[in-house]
């Protein structure tokens, strides 16, 4: 009997990916999922229209190749980050991998199927935003814009192949236990590069930008800005030049095929040792400590220990801190020299809000023994109070130094920032305690399965408090508007009637 | 012993989830008694235990734990109870010692009392060597034993166990059974649900059989045999006979 063919195996993997997407979209049937995806794609085409208009005009004046080069600087790290996340998940998610490895399928076939599924998922995630722009641009500026799609597909194959090799390299270097944490942090850093790149040109001083423009208009032959050099191959491919597109596609396919051909056995070994790590390892070892039993301390210590041992949290904090950098830079650029303290203020408020939200989400939603804790002779209010204290302490610790520096630099701005950071942290933490999502901690970390609506409200609160802080720092009375918006959001999400605190059960 | 209040007294307990899950249940367990609560899947065993543990609000009825009205004074009642669910509830990233420290803190024990007790329990359950190892790599049996240590550390008056032997190897199961019997000798009331009828047959002082949320039979094995058609049968046969669907009015005997 022949074992499962690659297309059927791939179909199986894609079915699982599709079901995951449907669950994310809360679509109970495939038809409903298709309708939602179709509606989103249509809406994105509408939203992308004016953006495509600007791009086609820019491309006419400055050349499509430069535009695509800028796009590639952003897209390449984004796709590589997607590939890293996908490859790590493929290695560590047990699911049906045990079944596949115990079957007579060759490791190469399993890896090929998994890698193709990762590549298709990455293409979907990035293409969802890029392809509507390219489609609209094609309607306005000609079919040559449609070359973005095959160029993107080739880029996805290339980055997936490289991400797979990087993940297995990390695995060989660091071992199964550390690779997942390091991989998550690494993917976060690479992903953050995308956000910073998106703004990098705007941050440059005007004379630098002029100098760059001269270089681009009159590139030195063989220099960095000469589109004839190999560095420009992906940009020329995306710009619709046929020979570079063919070459770029060939390169993407070659890297992908070489990765799966060479790494099949390494993937099997990696996945098996990842499984072994999950099932057999002794986890982390801790030192003997003095036994301490005060009730409040026991509740707080438990939360701190669990937070400190959470690898997802590290990448989350890093990501959120990095994402605020462009915000601070944009504000600083808009306000001019001498406004550093004011520029940093909303960024710190946003970090406080996001960090408190992340910690509260983990503390509230991933109470692994909620039922057990509910049987303890402790009131729900005390449980909530101790969890809030446990969340507040690391936020304060993380922000203490930058806030102190801010007070030292500008006392008024510093005090205003502290006040708004407190309000922001308290509001996003409260939101997560009011709307817990019961799950196993491990599952939450794997799937980042926060309630999407809560996530949206959380970002709304962060933004409102950050804008309010900025306006308050500038001594503008309009600060009351975002404060009002934040309070309204909180009121809308508060428990409807006075009742006992959440049970965490 | 007779002066002591009942370890657990349930009167006319009701709980419905659209369909009746517990229907007028009366049950009394004395201090130091080992009581096995048997029933088919969905009979109402776990719902009953969850109501006693304070995890579900009864629709009606009374729950007294060690003389304390659990509906009026849940914190005082919880202070006297330990509940072990069928799925061990543990924190993967904590070590057994940290878990016991947390549990001892929840039940308000002093460190002087809890520290030595934690060591004693972990040694008894062969977990002392793993005391500083995070629970994430533990087998089902090790997790179950860690949770049992957590249930015993605060010296409860009433120990409720839902399928405590699931996933344990023969040695560990024996260890757990011995510890439970020891607890009853020290005056702790133990109520256990199990599908392993041999356990109930061998170590329970009394056995209650629950069906459709009602106690249909209760007593020691001999008494249950007397209610069944098979007078010399094993508990399994008695259980199957008493819980078999019958014509209305044929069954209904309760001790």
The per-residue pLDDT for range A467-483, each reduced to its tens digit, is 999 899 888 888 899 99
Tell me how close the Cα of A85 comes to any Cα of chain B, in angstroms.
23
Residue numbers of A between 7 and 46 with CB closer than 8 Å to B: none
**A298 in reach of chain B (CB within 8 A):** yes
Q: Are B52 and B71 in contact (CB under 8 A)?
A: no
Tell me how close the Cα of B213 comes to any Cα of chain A, in angstroms.
22
Average pLDDT, stretch B101-123? 90
Candidate from A194-208, A335-349, A408-422 with smallest mean pLDDT: A194-208
Give B226's strand partners: none
**A146 in reach of chain B (CB within 8 A):** no
Average pLDDT, stretch B61-67? 93
Residue A94: pLDDT band (50, 70, 90) is low
**B120 in reach of chain A (CB within 8 A):** no
Kindly tell me if the per-residue pLDDT of B251 is higher than 50.
no
- pLDDT tens readout for residues A423-437: 999 999 888 888 776
Kindly tell me if the per-residue pLDDT of A450 is higher than 70.
no
Chain B interface test: which of A279, A314, A374, A375 (most B C-beta within 10 Å): A375
Where residue B213 falls (left for φ over 0; alpha for ψ -120 to 50; beta otherwise) is: left
**A499 in reach of chain B (CB within 8 A):** no
Residue A213: pLDDT band (50, 70, 90) is confident
- pTM for the model stands at 0.68
The span from the CA of B81 to the CA of B79, in Å, is 6
Q: Which of B85, B93, B150 sits opposite A305 (nearest CB)?
A: B93
- Domain B1-80+158-166+187-255, architecture per CATH: 3-Layer(aba) Sandwich (3.40)
**A286 in reach of chain B (CB within 8 A):** yes
Chain A interface test: which of B66, B77, B91, B120 (most A C-beta within 10 Å): B91
Candidate from A71-75, A451-455, B167-171 with smallest mean pLDDT: A451-455
Contact B75 A280 (CB under 8 A): no
Give B38's strand partners: B209
**B118 in reach of chain A (CB within 8 A):** yes
pLDDT value of residue B11: 94
**B61 in reach of chain A (CB within 8 A):** no
**B241 in reach of chain A (CB within 8 A):** no
Tell me how close the Cα of A386 comes to any Cα of chain B, in angstroms.
12
Contact A302 B91 (CB under 8 A): yes
Contact A305 B104 (CB under 8 A): no
Q: Please report the number of interchain residue pairs, chain A to chain B, with beta-carbon separation below 8 angstroms.
A: 128
Chain A interface test: which of B74, B81, B85, B94 (most A C-beta within 10 Å): B94
Chain B interface test: which of A370, A377, A443 (most B C-beta within 10 Å): A377
The span from the CA of A439 to the CA of A365, in Å, is 6
**Beta-carbon contacts of residue B210 (< 8 Å; ≥ 6 apart):** B25, B37, B38, B39, B43, B44, B45, B48, B216
In this prediction the ipTM stands at: 0.78
Q: Are A375 and B78 in contact (CB under 8 A)?
A: yes
Candidate from A279-293, B42-56, B136-150 with smallest mean pLDDT: A279-293
**B93 in reach of chain A (CB within 8 A):** yes
Contact A374 B136 (CB under 8 A): no
Kindly tell me if the per-residue pLDDT of A310 is higher than 50.
yes
Contact B107 A281 (CB under 8 A): no
Tell me how close the Cα of A379 comes to any Cα of chain B, in angstroms.
7
Q: How buried is residue A400: exposed, middle or buried, by Cβ count under 10 Å (0-12/13-18/19+)?
A: exposed
The Cα-based distances of A380 to A400, A503, B3 in angstroms read: 30, 6, 34
Residue A177: pLDDT band (50, 70, 90) is low
Q: Report the candidate in B89, B124, B93 with the shortest Cα–Cα distance to residue A313.
A: B93
Q: Which residue has the higher pLDDT, A278 or A452?
A: A452
Backbone angles phi, psi at A3, to 5 degrees: -80, 170
B-chain residues near A376 (CB < 8 A): 78, 103, 106-107
Candidate from A14-28, A89-103, A106-120 with smallest mean pLDDT: A89-103
pLDDT value of residue A179: 76
Residues of chain B with CATH 3.40.50.300: 1-80+158-166+187-255
Q: Which residue has the higher pLDDT, B12 or A222?
A: B12
Contact A282 B102 (CB under 8 A): no
B150 to chain A: closest CA residue? A372
Candidate from A19-23, A276-280, A282-286, A363-367 with smallest mean pLDDT: A276-280
Q: Can you say how many angstroms the Cα of residue B117 is from the centroid of all Cα atoms in its chain?
A: 21
Contact B132 A287 (CB under 8 A): yes
- pLDDT tens readout for residues A315-373: 666 666 776 776 677 777 776 656 778 888 888 898 899 888 888 887 877 677 878 88
Residue B4: pLDDT band (50, 70, 90) is confident
A-chain residues near B158 (CB < 8 A): none
A-chain residues near B114 (CB < 8 A): 291, 293
Contact B118 A291 (CB under 8 A): yes
Q: Are A238 and A224 in contact (CB under 8 A)?
A: no
Tell me how close the Cα of A201 comes to any Cα of chain B, in angstroms.
44
């Amino acid at each position: 009997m022949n074992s499962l063919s690659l297309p059927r195996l791939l179909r199986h993997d894609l079915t699982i990916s599709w079901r995951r997407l449907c669950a994310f979209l809360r679509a109970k049937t495939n038809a409903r999922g298709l309708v939602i995806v179709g509606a989103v794609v249509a809406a994105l085409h509408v939203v992308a229209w004016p953006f495509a208009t600007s791009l086609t005009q820019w491309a006419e004046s400055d050349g499509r190749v430069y535009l695509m080069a800028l796009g590639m600087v952003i897209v390449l790290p984004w796709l590589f980050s997607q590939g890293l996340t996908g490859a790590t998940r493929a290695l560590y998610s047990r699911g049906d991998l045990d079944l596949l490895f115990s079957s007579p399928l060759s490791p190469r076939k399993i890896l090929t199927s998994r890698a193709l599924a990762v590549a298709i998922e990455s293409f979907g995630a990035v293409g969802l935003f890029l392809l509507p722009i390219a489609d609209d641009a094609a309607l306005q500026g000609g079919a040559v814009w449609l070359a973005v799609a095959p160029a993107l597909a080739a880029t996805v194959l290339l980055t997936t192949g490289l991400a797979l090799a990087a993940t297995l390299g990390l695995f060989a270097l660091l071992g199964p236990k550390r690779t997942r944490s390091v991989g998550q942090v690494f993917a976060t850093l690479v992903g953050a590069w995308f956000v910073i790149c998106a703004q990098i040109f705007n941050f440059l001083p005007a004379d630098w930008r002029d100098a760059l423009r001269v270089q681009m208009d009159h590139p030195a032959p063989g220099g960095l800005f000469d589109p004839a050099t190999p560095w420009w191959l992906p940009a020329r491919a995306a710009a619709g030049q046929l020979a570079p597109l063919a070459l770029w596609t060939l390169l993407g396919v070659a890297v992908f095929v070489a990765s799966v051909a060479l790494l099949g056995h390494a993937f099997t070994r990696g996945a098996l040792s990842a499984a072994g790590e999950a099932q057999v390892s002794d986890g982390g070892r801790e030192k003997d400590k003095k036994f301490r039993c005060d009730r409040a301390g026991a509740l707080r210590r438990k939360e701190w220990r669990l937070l400190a041992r959470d690898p997802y949290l590290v990448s989350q904090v890093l990501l959120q801190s990095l994402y605020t950098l462009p915000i601070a830079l944009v504000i600083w650029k808009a306000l001019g020299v001498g406004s550093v303290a004011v520029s940093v203020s909303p960024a710190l408020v946003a970090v406080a809000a996001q960090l408190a939200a992340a910690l509260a989400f983990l503390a509230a939603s991933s109470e692994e023994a909620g039922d057990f804790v509910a049987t303890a002779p402790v009131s729900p209010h005390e449980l909530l109070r101790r969890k809030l204290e446990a969340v507040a302490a690391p936020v304060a610790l993380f922000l203490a130094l930058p806030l102190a520096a801010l007070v030292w630099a500008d006392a008024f701005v510093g005090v205003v920032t502290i006040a708004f950071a407190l309000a922001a942290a308290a509001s996003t933490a409260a939101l997560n305690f009011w709307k817990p999502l019961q799950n196993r901690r491990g599952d939450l970390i794997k799937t980042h399965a926060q309630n999407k609506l809560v996530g949206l409200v959380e970002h709304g609160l962060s933004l409102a408090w950050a804008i309010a802080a900025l306006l308050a720092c500038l001594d503008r009375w309009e600060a009351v508007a975002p404060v009002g918006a934040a309070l309204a959001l909180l009121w809308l999400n508060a428990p409807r009637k006075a009742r006992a605190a959440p049970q965490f059960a | 012993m007779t002066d002591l209040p009942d370890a657990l007294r349930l009167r006319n307990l009701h709980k419905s989830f659209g369909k009746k899950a517990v229907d007028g249940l009366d049950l009394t367990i004395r201090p130091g008694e080992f009581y096995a609560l048997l029933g088919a899947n969905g009979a109402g065993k776990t719902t009953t235990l969850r109501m006693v543990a304070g995890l579900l609000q009864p629709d009606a009825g009374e729950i007294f734990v060690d003389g304390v009205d659990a509906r009026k004074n849940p914190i005082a009642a919880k202070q006297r109870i330990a509940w072990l669910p069928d799925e061990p509830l543990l924190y993967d990233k904590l070590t057994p010692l940290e878990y016991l420290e947390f549990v001892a803190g929840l039940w308000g024990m002093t460190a002087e009392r809890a520290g030595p007790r934690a060591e004693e329990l972990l040694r008894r359950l062969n977990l002392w060597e793993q005391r500083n190892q995070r629970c994430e790599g533990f087998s089902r049996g090790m997790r179950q034993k860690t949770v049992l240590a957590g249930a015993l550390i605060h010296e409860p008056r009433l120990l409720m166990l839902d399928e405590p032997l699931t996933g344990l190897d023969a040695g560990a199961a024996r260890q757990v059974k011995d510890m439970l019997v020891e607890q009853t000798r020290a005056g702790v009331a133990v109520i256990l649900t199990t599908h392993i009828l041999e356990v109930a047959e061998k170590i329970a002082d009394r056995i209650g059989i629950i069906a459709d949320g009602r106690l249909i039979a209760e007593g020691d094995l001999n008494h249950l045999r007397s209610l069944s058609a098979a007078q010399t049968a094993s508990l399994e046969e008695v259980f199957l006979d008493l819980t078999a669907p019958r014509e209305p009015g044929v069954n209904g005997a309760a001790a």
